Structure 1
Amino acid sequence: MNKGKKIYGFMVLAALFWSGAFIAGKYAVPFIPTFTLTFLRFFFASLILCILSGAARKKEEDRFRLKKEHLPIFLFTGIVGMFGYHVFFFIALKYTTAINSSIIGAMNPIVTIVIAALFLRNKIPAKQIAGILLSFFGVLLTITGADVETLVQLDFNRGDLWMAAAVICWAAYGVFSKSKGAGIPPFWLTYYSFLVCTLILIPFVIWEKPWQLLAQAPPQAWIAVLYMSIFASVAGYMIQQIAIKQIGPSKTSIFINLVPVFSMVLATLILGEALAPIKLATAGIIILGGCICQFSGSADQKG
């Protein structure tokens, strides 16, 4: 029981770290190209985990050995969970606000339930279906700004759509980690996922020719990269992986509901973004839908 309570507390901390990534990302995206920014985030994160791997190997050497059959798992988590989510995330921040992107990010629990139902054959109770529809309605209000004309003309903010794609990647990563990575300790699943992402990004970084721009990046952009590497990536993902194994992906993903709350406060205080009443309303609708889903009860949620 105490162990369960502790992981809940750590997941609140992880949500705070992730909300800070929306702020840090807004500082970095104007100065560092998308693939390069993703590469730097995971290069530094992988370096940190490499330094820590000696201690982890001694602690878990009897529990995990890297084998050929692990390669497809790390390819999926590295490409979909790390490369896919973060590339889409940084593209989204170029075109939309930190508040909007974090509100759409709150859809993760709902998308997680849908993906688990599709691929793990988890049943969706009627109450969960109601929560899913409510949350999708909240997202629709977010990306349209509650403007019917925007919906009719399908004139959506491209950043909001990119963030929706990022959420799908994040949710798929969580479900896949639970189903296929159950036998891999959290440290190694995180480390090798980061490493695959870093290596996959190299040709994309060369294509961007970042050496022409990085010298012009201000100190705050580099501080933002380090923050995302240390706190949002290493600490956040390690906590998430431990939580997925202890309480399951659906219960873990409910803490994403805290991210828009933290992000709205931070974006208003640090970035000076306007917090319109409609944003509070849509965030509330999405979070309410997520809570209905989480507490309506499913096999995954109970275990």
Structure 2
Amino acid sequence: MLAFSTSTWGSAFVAGRFATESFDPVTVAFLRFFFAAIILVPLMYILEKDRPRPSLKDWGLFALLGLTGIAIYNIAFFTAAKYAPIAKSSLFIASNPVLIILLSGLFLKETITGRNIAGLVLALTGAVIIITNGDILAAARHGLEPIDFVLLFAVVCWALYSVLGKVALRKFSSLVCTTWAVVFGTVMLFPFALLETSWTQVAEADWGVWTAILHMSIIVTVVSFLMYYQGIKIIGAAKASLFINLMPVSAVILAVVFLDEPLLWAHLAGALFVLTGVTIGTYTRPLWLNRKNKAARS
């Protein structure tokens, strides 16, 4: 379940490229979460009958989740999916977990260990290699491209969403938090999507575009979400988080296969740094120590 759900997240980059051929990024983001909300709201009412009643402060927190993780992040995500190479954007976004740890330490006073710092340094090194295509000196001379700042903005927004989500999860389940975040984010995206999209565009969009949008709504957002959190219940969040490393791998493979994107040595080198950094920075207990303790108990 964990391997399938996290690999499916990588397919969102390719599906986003197809969808943004007919619609602007804001419209794609709105359509994705509009269809997801139609599924998530009934699911929440069926599966979470004993959920706590949100206070006014809780509604404000849900609105912030919708703003950072659904509205702003996905505008940046689909903008990157349209204009940036998928290998570049997916591998750069893969550095998210260590930034989440850093922000959790700053704002939630969670402990930051030496392993977290080492992971952050490795992941950011990989991100720099990826975003400069391995030519750091040339990037320093000529500056970064505008899409690079969009990618950086997306990473920061998702990290903020994750930290805010930790606060919300102290009272509500993951399904409740995600559902209300999707609802608020969809409402925020609606007026902008209405302004930039005409009914002619909707009518002229082919089946491939709608398939990509429904794939992101149903499989990537709803099914993968349920499977991922079921996996967390079974093996725990620490081990489950390691499967997120499959996301950029699947995104790169799908981009090479379906979009004929080139795979540069800088992508491979950067991916090695990012995945190593994320693994070191988020894995809380060494496997060999678990085996040693298990053997001692036996």
User: Fold-level match, TM-score > 0.5?
Assistant: yes
Counterpart in 2 of 1:19? 10
- Do the aligned partners of 1:33 and 1:210 also contact (CA within 8 Å) in 2? no
Return the TM-score normalized by structure 2: 0.87
Q: For each residue in 1:229-254, what CA deviation from the matched residue of structure 2 results, as whole angstroms up to 9, or x when unmatched?
A: 00111123344556678845x66544
Counterpart in 2 of 1:103? 91
1:126 is displaced (CA, Å) by: 2.3
1:144 is displaced (CA, Å) by: 0.7
Return the TM-score normalized by structure 1: 0.86
5+ residue gaps in structure 1?
1-9, 299-303
Q: For each residue in 1:262-282, what CA deviation from the matched residue of structure 2 results, as whole angstroms up to 9, or x when unmatched?
A: 111111112111112221111
Tell me: CA distance 1:148–1:200, structure 2 relative to 1, closer, same or farther (3 Å).
Answer: closer
CA–CA separation in structure 1 for the residues paired with 2:252 and 2:74: 20
**Out of 269, 280, 298, which is 1:292 matched to?**
280
Matched, 1:89 2:77: yes
CA–CA separation in structure 2 for the residues paired with 1:180 and 1:104: 27
CA–CA separation in structure 2 for the residues paired with 1:160 and 1:243: 33
Aligned AA for 2:253? V
Counterpart in 1 of 2:295? none
**Out of 48, 51, 61, which is 2:49 matched to?**
61
CA–CA separation in structure 2 for the residues paired with 1:200 and 1:252: 31
Percent identity of equivalent pairs: 33
Tell me: CA distance 1:187–1:127, structure 2 relative to 1, closer, same or farther (3 Å).
Answer: closer
- Do the aligned partners of 1:77 and 1:177 also contact (CA within 8 Å) in 2? yes
Counterpart in 2 of 1:70? 58
Partner of 2:134, secondary structure, is coil
**Out of 22, 28, 47, which is 1:31 matched to?**
22
Partner of 2:282, secondary structure, is helix
Partner of 1:213, secondary structure, is helix
Counterpart in 2 of 1:155? 143
- Do the aligned partners of 2:241 and 2:282 also contact (CA within 8 Å) in 1? no
Counterpart in 2 of 1:43? 34
CA–CA separation in structure 2 for the residues paired with 1:297 and 1:148: 34
Aligned AA for 2:150? W
Count of residue pairs the alignment pairs up: 286
Partner of 2:118, secondary structure, is helix
CA–CA separation in structure 1 for the residues paired with 2:143 and 2:247: 26
CA RMSD of aligned residues (A): 2.4
CA–CA separation in structure 2 for the residues paired with 1:48 and 1:280: 38
CA–CA separation in structure 1 for the residues paired with 2:29 and 2:71: 7
Counterpart in 1 of 2:292? none
1:14 is displaced (CA, Å) by: 2.0
